[in-house]
Structure formats: structure tokens, C-alpha cells
A and B are shown apart, each in its own frame.
Chain A
């Protein structure tokens, strides 16, 4: 375990469903991130939270809605997704600046049917 826990590990959902991904870290980090990993594409930064405040939204469609209730928890709420949204969703955390690098969770493999 890396110290960053993501649940569920696998999720299959229909295009009309609503589901949520959860990320939890107890490393004392102040920043948390959502990345999308699709085959043969670079990791795409989706959202950045710093001390619970969203500091970056990388032009992500509104069908993805993040929530960060405290520095230890991060959620990604999903609704009316498309098949092209199927991917591995990775959560990461870091101390405030990138100089320390990130700690990643194992990811949630999402399949939209």
C-alpha cells in the first residue's frame, strides 16, 4: 500500500447511472489530484485541490464533478458518462508543492457500457 487508497478498484456503469469514486490519504499531504489514464495517451490531469480548494480544472466535462471535503479525502462524482470515459482513474497526493513528487493510489478501472 502506498498510503493513498482508492475505492472501488473496478466499476462498471451504464450511461444513465450516477456513481462516485473515492480517494483517501493519511500521509499528511495538502494537495490531491485526479488523473485519467487512457491507453496509449499521456496521463491527463483533471483536477487539483490544495488545502481543500480547487486550484485547477483542466477543461473537464461537467459530467465529472469533484469534491474535497477535507485534505484527506477526495471524491469524483460521475453522471451520464460516455463510453469514451472508460479509463483508469488515478488519485494522487503530495505535500504542497510538486518538488516532493506525488504518491499515487492503485486507481479505479471504470468501464462505461
Chain B
């Protein structure tokens, strides 16, 4: 079974400061890792993914994430936060299964609050 842990329900950061949203995972085999963002009353929007290759992945809106295999982590980062980044962020994992539709397993989500 695969699982995702987002240890913080809420992260508060001042505008202009760097931000980190934490994610750890558990999966058998090589992981596919994703970050999604959800704004109020909307569905989830894709931010970035790690499949293979460089451990630092760059995505939409200036976000990036670092894959750390030894720590089974995939933390989301941004060098300078904007008030508009305030939203609910989800980390998700899937294991490579050789093909076929796979269900992603999501964490509980972390509310990111950027203070002006």
C-alpha cells in the first residue's frame, strides 16, 4: 500500500519570504510524485511532478520541489512567496505498475497562508 504524509495542516509565511510545504511518502517500487494546488470552490490544479531524472523539479508559478530518495520526501518550495499563493496544497504519489490506469494517493493537504 502507498501513503503520503503532509505533517503540517497550515503553513504561514510573510510575503516575499521563501516557503516550504513538506511531504513524505511510502511506496513499493519507484515513485511518481506530484503536487497539486486547490483554490476555494475549485478542483485541483497540477503544479509539478517527479518521474525520473534530476531531483529538483521546476513547475508552474515559480514553484519547485526536491525529491530525496533516502528521506522519502518531496518538499514543495518557492524562493519568494506571493499573497496569491495562498491556497490548499496536495502532495500525491503513485507507484509504477507497468501500465494501466493508476489511482493517485493524496495527502490531507496543507493550507498555505501568505501574509502581506
Contact = CB atoms under 8 A, between A and B. Distances in A.
B106 A102 contact: no
Interface size range on A against B: 20 to 34
A72 to B, nearest CB: 15
Contacts of A50: 100-101
B102 A4 contact: no
Interface size range on B against A: 20 to 34
B87 interface: no
A31 B51 CA distance: 19
Nearest to A58: B103
A102 B46 contact: yes
B44 A90 contact: yes
Interface string B14-43: 000000000000000000101010000111
Q: Is the interface of B mostly helix, strand, loop or mixed?
A: loop
A17 interface: no
A109 B101 contact: no
A107 B100 contact: no
Interface string B94-107: 10110111111111
B78 interface: no
A98 B43 CA distance: 18
Contacts of A55: 100-101
Interface string B35-64: 010000111111001010000000000000
B101 A41 contact: no
B43 A90 contact: yes
Contacts of B4: 42
Interface of B: 4, 9, 32, 34, 36, 41-46, 49, 51, 90, 94, 96-97, 99-109
